[in-house]
Amino acid sequence: MRYVITGATARTSSIVAEGLLDQGKDINVIGRNINRLKMFSDKGAIAFKADPSDGNALTPAFKGADAAWIILQPNYIPDSPDFREFQSGLIRALIQSISKNGLKYAVTLSSWGADVNAGSGPVAGLRDMELAFNKLPDLNVLHLRAGYFMENMLGYIPPIIQFGKVPGPFDPHIKLPFIATKDIGDYAVKVLTNLDFEGKVIHELHGERDLTIAEAVSIIGNAIGKPDLEYEQISNHDFTKALLDSGVSESVAGLMGEVVTGINTHHIKMSGIRSVDNTTPTSFEEFVNNTLLPIYHKALAGL
């Protein structure tokens, strides 16, 4: 049994690669920088340097493989003039590689909101990926629709240090399905090891529990010794303007504004009910203590 790991140095992919290697599995890892793949090849993985949009370069990595972990990487290019077209190019390259090699199993990293056909920003690209993979008749595919990454909160460290508050565009009363990328990776390792799915399957991952952005900020504040830390909602207009002012392209800023509107209006939401099978173990408190706090203290020390 041989596995392919796309975007191997990305957060979730690195967890999947390490998890399979720890089990003694044979894996091929793909990345744009061969030197960054050394941490996997040193443990026995076969490394392939390939641009994710180049189907001809990706194809050799899938040769002889039985199953693959699939992500669209990179998932964010600030200055992309047409990010949706870029996503389409990634999907075409993956379909080419999978089709030429007759891959039998794939687990994809999708997202909450992939069930809606419009108004979901960059999540629309993940929906397109799901639909494209579902058209491959001989491929058994499991789409993991994960919630809101806890790691997104790391981006708030600079304004916390600089301004003592957290400005953001999300409605402070909307519950978000916060999930740690480690839990996504661990779940992917489990299903890739078992390969007990067939056909075209969707599985949501809701995280440990839903939290509002304001509740998440309060947890951060208590952890860093700032119990009065507050979340301050800014308008979507001001949010997208700030993105544009920082050099983000109109394409990407528009998509990011769209996903904010989708979440704030409940257009983007989990379609299933929380259950034991879609609830993951890492709490937001654990994430803050184990991941956010060390980065926060390192940033403070660098001032």
* 137 and 31 inside one domain: yes
- Going by the DSSP 8-state scheme, the letter that residue 292 receives in this structure is I
Find where tokens 């509107």 sit. 261
Contact predicate 141/103, CB 8 Å: no
| Rounded distance between C-alpha atoms, residue 299 and residue 303, angstroms | 7
* 128 and 186 inside one domain: yes
Helix (H, G, I), strand (E, B) or coil at 180: coil
| Rounded distance between C-alpha atoms, residue 67 and residue 140, angstroms | 9
220 Cβ contact partners less than 8 Å away, ≥ 6 residues apart: 153, 156, 160, 166, 229, 288, 292
pLDDT digits (tens, 9 = 90+) for 5-26: 999 999 999 999 999 999 999 9
| Rounded distance between C-alpha atoms, residue 127 and residue 92, angstroms | 14
Q: Give a yes or no: residue 87 inside a domain.
A: yes
| Rounded distance between C-alpha atoms, residue 204 and residue 272, angstroms | 7
* 197 and 56 inside one domain: yes
Q: Is the pLDDT of residue 300 over 90?
A: yes
Share of the chain above pLDDT 70, in %: 100
Q: Give a yes or no: residue 162 inside a domain.
A: no
* 25 and 47 inside one domain: yes
Mean pLDDT of 246-267: 97
Classify 53 in phi/psi space as left (phi over 0), alpha (psi -120 to 50) or beta. alpha
Range of weakest confidence among 64-78, 133-147, 270-284: 64-78
Amino acid 76: pLDDT: 83
Q: Is the pLDDT of residue 176 over 90?
A: yes
* 187 and 258 inside one domain: no
| Mean pLDDT, the chain, integer | 98
Contact predicate 251/125, CB 8 Å: no
Residue range of the domain that includes 259: 211-301
* 197 and 61 inside one domain: yes
* 75 and 146 inside one domain: yes
Q: Is the pLDDT of residue 201 over 90?
A: yes
Q: Give a yes or no: residue 62 inside a domain.
A: yes
| Rounded distance between C-alpha atoms, residue 26 and residue 143, angstroms | 22
Contact predicate 122/78, CB 8 Å: no
Amino acid 56: pLDDT: 98
| Rounded distance between C-alpha atoms, residue 257 and residue 240, angstroms | 6
* 194 and 230 inside one domain: no
Mean pLDDT of 98-117: 98
* 200 and 217 inside one domain: no
The pTM for the full model equals: 0.97
pLDDT digits (tens, 9 = 90+) for 53-85: 999 999 999 999 999 999 998 888 999 999 999
Angle (CA) 27-101-146 rounded to 5° is 60
CB atoms within 10 A of CB 194: 8
